[in-house]
Structure formats: C-alpha cells, structure tokens
Amino acid sequence: MTQFIQQMINGLHVGSIYALIALGYTMVYGIVKLINFAHGDILMVGAYVGFFALTAFNLPFGLALLAAMVLSALLGMAIDKVAYKPLRNAPRISALITALGVSMFLQNTFRLLFGANPRKMPAVFNVQPILLGDLRIPPLTIITILLSGACMVGLELIIRFTKTGKAMRGVSEDSKAAKLMGINVDRTISITFAIGSALGAVGGILYSISYYQVEPYMGMMPGLKAFVAAVLGGIGVIPGAMLGGFVIGGVESFTKGYLSTTWADAIVFSILILVLVFKPSGILGKNTKEKV
C-alpha cells in the first residue's frame, strides 16, 4: 500500500507538469486547429531562461519563473506572427509541417548557442523530504502540484470570466462570426499563444528542476507525452488536457514502479493509438460532424 501511494504521488507530480504543457497544445488547437509541435521546444526555452536567471543573474526562483514566462510568451507570439499567421488560410498540413520546422529550428539554434551537453539545473528547494512512516514526499512534489494547480485554476478563471477569455471562446466556436462581432481574431490568437507558451515555460522549469538538467532536446519527450495527454483528455478541451495530463503521469509512474522503466514510454504511446482507434474525441471531447 505504501508503494502504491508513493507511485500515486509521483504520478501527480509528473502528471501536473504534463497537464501544464498539454494546456498549450489544447488551447492553440481549440482556436486555430493547429497541432503546435514546437510547443515542447518552448518548454526547453523556458527551462534555459530559468537556468540562466538562477545561475548567471542569481535571481530568486519567483523572478526566474516570471522571466521565463514573459520571454516564452513573447517567443510564442513571435512564432505565431512569423510562422503561423501567414498560413491561416492554407491547408492544415502546411501549418503542421511549419510547426515541425519551427521545432527543429529552436532545437538546433539552442544547440549551436549553448552546446549539446546537458547543464545541471541548480537545486532550488533544499528542504528535507516529508516522511510519513515509510512514505517519502519531496517538497518539490508538493510545490509542483500546488503551482501547477494554481496555473490551471488561473487559466480557467481567465477563460470563463475575462473579456479576453470570452473572445477566445468566441474565436474557438466560429472565428468568422467572432470577427463580425468585432473581435480582433489575430490578437486573440496571439494572446492564446502567449498564455500557452507561458504555461509551457512553467512546465519546463518544473521539469528541469525535477530531473536536474537542461539541454536543447529536453522538450521533445515531455512535449510528445503532453500531446498524448491532450488527445486522451479531448484536444481543444481545457479540462480534458488537465485530466489527460494526470492520467498519463499516473500511467507512467505506475508502469515504472510495478513493471519496468523501459516499458513506460511504450505504454504511454500505446494509449495514444488506442484513443485514436476507439475514441478519437478523447475522454471529455464530443464527437462532431464536419460538412465537406
């Protein structure tokens, strides 16, 4: 039972990070119907910004996190304006190929700038783990879950109760009708990229602190797993991304704890195949018919 609870806590830890990253995927897809495969690399950029803010500038964790969120948000808006905005009316495959190109561009740019060798993320929270009998709960796990939960609640409040959130929902439902109602569609999409990228930066810093390293290709695997989480929960549905993130985190943790670490990735990506075969809309997604 102790091992079961321990793996559940570990699953909540990694699942909350996947949920943050998955929110970026699902927000962008919900508005522009684009799978932004460069989102995982924005995670990497946020981790690098946090790393240099903590080591080179000796900023406290809060300011380092804020700097990573702001710069990643600006990067997300720039990517949208330069790479995706000219393809708004192009076939979706063109935008998808562009997303892959942006991903490789970011990876190789950071490899040229900072080298391929991993850099060690400093230990931010030097606090002894909480011991409850045989149960061991690292403070980083609690902070990650609370910080991720606060970001998710904040996003939900923005979507539901702010003018920008209402504009995002309107553009998601029907961008042409939203434009007729006076909503600036391009600005709304840019804000969506900014918010999603900022959340990705938070996920990147939490991920790098948990695994103690930063390197140019670090966003590839968590980005793919977050994509699986978004599809599992129902891509385009914000609560679905959160649910999918926690489910994927739990599956990965229990697989590592009870089967083998070598099977974890295979089982996670098997879930993607099963979802696409049996319920493509995801857990919380709705089946929709599209006229052609």
pLDDT digits (tens, 9 = 90+) for 224-240: 999 999 999 988 888 88
Q: State yes or no: pLDDT of 125 exceeds 80.
A: no
pLDDT in tens, 231-271: 999 888 888 888 999 999 999 999 998 888 889 999 999 99
pLDDT in tens, 203-223: 999 999 988 889 999 999 999
DSSP letter at 87 equals: G
Neighbour count for residue 48 (Cβ, 10 Å): 24
Domain-by-domain residue ranges, the chain? Answer: 2-278
pLDDT in tens, 137-194: 888 888 888 888 888 888 889 988 999 999 999 998 888 899 888 899 999 999 999 9
| CATH of span 2-278 | 1.10.3470
What pLDDT is stored for residue 211 in this prediction? 85
Q: HSE on the CB side for 243, CA within 13 Å?
A: 14
Q: State yes or no: pLDDT of 291 exceeds 50.
A: no
Do strands 130-132 and 135-137 pair parallel, antiparallel, or not at all (unpaired)? antiparallel
| pLDDT-above-70 percentage for the chain | 98
183-195 in b/e form (b: 16+ CB < 10 A) is: bebeebbbbbbbb
What pLDDT is stored for residue 292 in this prediction? 42
Q: Which are the contacts of 287, defined by CB distance < 8 A and separation ≥ 6? A: 281
Average of per-residue pLDDT across 58-83:
94
pLDDT in tens, 11-25: 999 999 999 999 988
As a whole number of angstroms, the distance between CA 219 and CA 151 comes to 20
As a whole number of angstroms, the distance between CA 288 and CA 283 comes to 14
Confidence at 41, pLDDT banded by 50, 70, 90: very high
| Cα dihedral sign, 200-205-206-208 | positive
Q: In whole numbers, what is the pLDDT of the chain averaged over residues?
A: 89
Q: State yes or no: pLDDT of 43 exceeds 80.
A: yes
| pLDDT-above-90 percentage for the chain | 55
Confidence at 59, pLDDT banded by 50, 70, 90: very high
What pLDDT is stored for residue 132 in this prediction? 76
What pLDDT is stored for residue 287 in this prediction? 64
As a whole number of angstroms, the distance between CA 196 and CA 192 comes to 6
Q: Say what the pTM is.
A: 0.91
Query: What tokens were used for 274?
Result: 């099963």
What pLDDT is stored for residue 103 in this prediction? 95
Looking at per-residue pLDDT, the higher value among 134 and 35 belongs to 35
As a whole number of angstroms, the distance between CA 182 and CA 176 comes to 10
